[in-house]
Chain A
Amino acid sequence: MSLMTMIIKMSEGLGKTCAIFFLTLLFSLPLGMIVALLRMSKAKVVSAITRFFITVIRGTPLMLQLLAVTYGPYYLFGANVSRNKLIPVVIAFSINYAAYFAEIYRGGIESIPIGQYEAAEVLGYTKFQTFMRIILPQVIKRIMPSVTNEVVTLVKDTSMAFTVSYQEMFTIGKQIANSQTSFMPFVVAGVFYYIFNAIVDYLMGRIEKSLDYYR
């Protein structure tokens, strides 16, 4: 198989790689905020349960979580393994990344000085207005570097989908490598991920810059 054919075949999986990437961000970014708020809840039970959830997700391999979400329903309830594996893959990724984002959000929220809340309260902002208008924008600025880190990791983590044979770019590459006994597909995959992350870096850098107007 020529290098060109290899590249073309693997590019066909890029759409799926992108699907995992964008859908995971779409769900995990807001879900992470919900988890963070539950984690900071004044109700001790709620925050304890959420904390346990976060430690489980962060303390076990993503690969295991992918297997659990994809095949768990079959072993537990005899349910059919879904034909479109994108669904379980995105569910597993979203839950996993939500746990990481939640901790980033929490750190950001807790780093905002109490005086910001007090000033807003005295000026007549409601709790919701205070969060949306005063706290959240400052949190976003502060956590951008950590979020960028996670997003870059997510690009590389999409390759984990090979564990459940979802036909994204890396899975295809791995299959070619096996059938052709060639190392080339891994090099191609590496280049793909590198370019993908260069774009991510550039875009995140732009966002960070756009928030540079204040300290």
Chain B
Amino acid sequence: MADFNKSESMGAQEARNILAVNALQKSFGSLQVLKDISLRVEQGNVVSVIGPSGSGKSTLLRCISFLEKADGGDILYDGQHAVKDGVYATKAELNRFRTRFGLVFQNFNLFPHYSVMKNITEPPMIRGESREEVTERASALLKKMGLEGKENAYPCQLSGGQQQRVAIARALALNPEILFFDEPTSALDPELTGEVLKVIRQLAEEKMTMVVVTHEMPFARAVSNRVIFMDKGVIVEEGHPEQVLGSPQQERTRQFLRNYQR
């Protein structure tokens, strides 16, 4: 492991890979959902993942956020192995890795019995930060999310778009190096998707590193540095958004995009 980290730091000019996944495998019973997934996410980049339903996009995000246990492959954060050849680091180490990423769910998963403020402040406080410092950060994040004055509201009093923005603030409050989004706007009414996408776009402008699973093609095209098209557990095509979405090389990508426009 020490050797690996050395080799990684040798190319000093190379951009830092916040996340690296090698040959990731995952099956549910006899169903192989991730067949051989490899990807890199460089610091400050936004990678969009698109693909038909059931292609394994959520499973990929769930594996790299440790919600699902991969069967094989490597997961590295900033050059450090969290998973090596399907073998996981210790529980304590994994918990430290968890501070490196944040995950935003399709259906928010806010804690309904907590106020907006407490939803955001409790996780960092559980990790030992003081209330003062966390509260200050949370207020700044709420302001940034356009949710000033909602500190004492409960999730049920907010619109879906507002709830998702609270969820983003909650993830950001832990100062992650990378944020994962699993279809952050799919549970929203169409008129509310814009406000959430705007926030993500703003984060992209601030060079937040992100992986976004999405069906919003114009958004992916405008915001991503790279687009990955997945189908049946493999990466079929990846590259610059203009290339993958504008002039795809693979027939399956073309077919997916064609069906998508209809």
Contacts and interface: CB of A to CB of B under 8 A. Distances in A.
Interface in A114-171: 115-116, 118-125, 129, 133-134, 137-138, 141
B113 interface: yes
B123 A123 contact: yes
Nearest to A125: B126
A184 B124 CA distance: 64
B139 to A, nearest CB: 19
A213 B107 CA distance: 21
- Residues of A in contact with B, size category: 20 to 34
B126 A118 contact: no
B67 A122 contact: yes
Nearest to B167: A119
B250 interface: no
B4 to A, nearest CB: 26
Interface stretch (B94-102, B199-207, B237-245): B94-102
A141 B113 contact: yes
Interface string B75-111: 0000000000000000000010011001101010111
A75 interface: no
A116 B109 contact: yes
B111 A118 contact: no
Contacts of A141: 113
A215 interface: yes
Contact of A214 (B95, B99, B127, B154): B154
B209 to A, nearest CB: 17
A124 B154 CA distance: 22
Given A123-B170, A124-B123, A125-B123, A134 B111 contact: yes
Given A123-B170, A214-B156, A138 B113 contact: yes
A109 to B, nearest CB: 15
Given A124-B99, A214-B112, A215-B156, A118 B123 contact: no
Interface string B51-92: 000000000000001110000000000000000000000000
B230 interface: no
Nearest to B107: A115
A213 B111 contact: no
Contact of A122 (B65, B111, B122, B126): B65
Given A115-B107, A119-B105, A213-B154, A124 B98 contact: yes
Contacts of A119: 105, 109-111
Contacts of B160: none
Contacts of A124: 95, 98-99, 123, 126-127, 174
Interface in B131-190: 154-156, 170, 174
Interface of A: 113, 115-116, 118-125, 129, 133-134, 137-138, 141, 213-215
22 contacts: A115-B105, A118-B109, A119-B109, A119-B110, A119-B111, A121-B67, A122-B67, A122-B98, A122-B102, A123-B123, A124-B95, A124-B98, A124-B127, A125-B126, A129-B126, A133-B122, A141-B113, A214-B112, A214-B154, A214-B155, A215-B112, A215-B154
